[in-house]
Amino acid sequence: MSILIVGSLAFDDIETPFGRSDNTLGGSSTYIALSASYFTDDVRLVGVVGSDFEDRHFRLLQSKSIDTKGIQKVDDGKTFRWAGRYHYDMNSRDTLDTQLNVFADFDPNVPHQYRDAKFVCLGNIDPELQLRVLDQISNPSLVICDTMNFWIEGKPNELRKTLERVDVFIINDSEARILSGDPNLVKSARIIRAMGPKTLIIKKGEHGALLFTDNGIFVAPAFPLESIYDPTGAGDTFAGGFIGHLSRCGEINDIELRRAVLYGSAMASFCVEKFGTEKLVSLDLLEIEDRFESFRELSRVDY
């Protein structure tokens, strides 16, 4: 099924204890789209870039069967840029520079040929823009949404309106606590799901992810990696693998949601093995299926 992805495209300057990478292709929608592209050949991308976004960047996306006609190019501006430095534990980072550039005036205009998309993934952008996207979609089967503490604290009312129209909400543990006002993640999940999204995923970084549905709680482990070079975009990559699997299987039920969490976790585990999107452009399906099976084996017990 078709997937519409709306979010940021960016260039990142990334520094970790294990190296650095400058002018790295990034942005929430970039990671989501590249990850989802391994599961379906109908990925549609909406975003905005500047004159520094070159033909080779478009060709890279298109080489993964990502439809880029929804990307607006502003010739008299620059693409969104972010620079950050990760601490030794890789769980915390310092933002060194943020330049919104053309992204500051981003007005998502969804092309008419995209508006029949069955799966919609809203990256981490202003909740007012997320609502504007949903107003343009005819009849989506599934809406997935991400956010961050900046919007939770800065535009709580707008975010609540968005959540009323969301099926699956993906956030991390600290964001869940801020949004719910409760330190307990199980209680937080109940409070957040009452806001609208019946399916909630709380990411816990190196400690895995929690899936909350009407039928209970599913806990996905994190993959034990020896080398983690860059966690940038791992959460967006998770979302891409998650929605990609659901699009591929064509079913939305508790079993497939759990599998989708494992596929999302598998894709995120690949992402952190290299800087930026480097690993995501060089995978094959056999690697992904092998990593998925490894996730299943992590918590398997035979009696």
Q: Would you kindly state where each structural domain of the chain is located, as residue ranges?
A: 3-298
Burial class (CB in 10 A: 0-12, 13-18, 19+), 211: buried
Q: Half-sphere exposure of 252 toward its Cβ, with a 13 Å CA cutoff?
A: 16
Is the pLDDT assigned to residue 116 strictly greater than 70?
yes
Strands 66-74, 43-50: pairing is: parallel
Q: What's the mean pLDDT in 250-270?
A: 95
What is the average pLDDT across 110-119? 96
Structure confidence at residue 279 as a pLDDT band (50, 70, 90): very high
Lowest mean pLDDT among 22-31, 251-260, 294-303: 294-303
pLDDT digits (tens, 9 = 90+) for 75-103: 999 999 999 999 987 778 899 999 999 99
Mean of all residue pLDDT scores within the chain: 95
CA distances from 166 to 18, 49, 114, 117, 244 (A): 38, 27, 19, 15, 17
pLDDT at 303: 66
Domain 3-298 in CATH: superfamily?
A: Ribokinase (3.40.1190.20)
Position 122 scores a pLDDT of 97
More reliable by pLDDT, 128 or 207: 128
The reported pTM is: 0.96
Percentage of residues in the chain having pLDDT higher than 90: 89
Mean pLDDT computed over 123-151: 95
What is the structure's pLDDT at 222?
Answer: 86
Q: How confident is the model at residue 250 (pLDDT cuts 50, 70, 90)?
A: confident
Q: What is the pLDDT of residue 251?
A: 87
Among residues 75, 133, 142, 139, the alpha carbon closest in space to that of 108 is found at 133
Would residue 16 be called left, alpha or beta, if left means φ above 0 and alpha means ψ between -120 and 50 degrees? beta
pLDDT confidence of residue 277: 95
**C-beta of residue 62 within 8 angstroms of C-beta of residue 87:** no
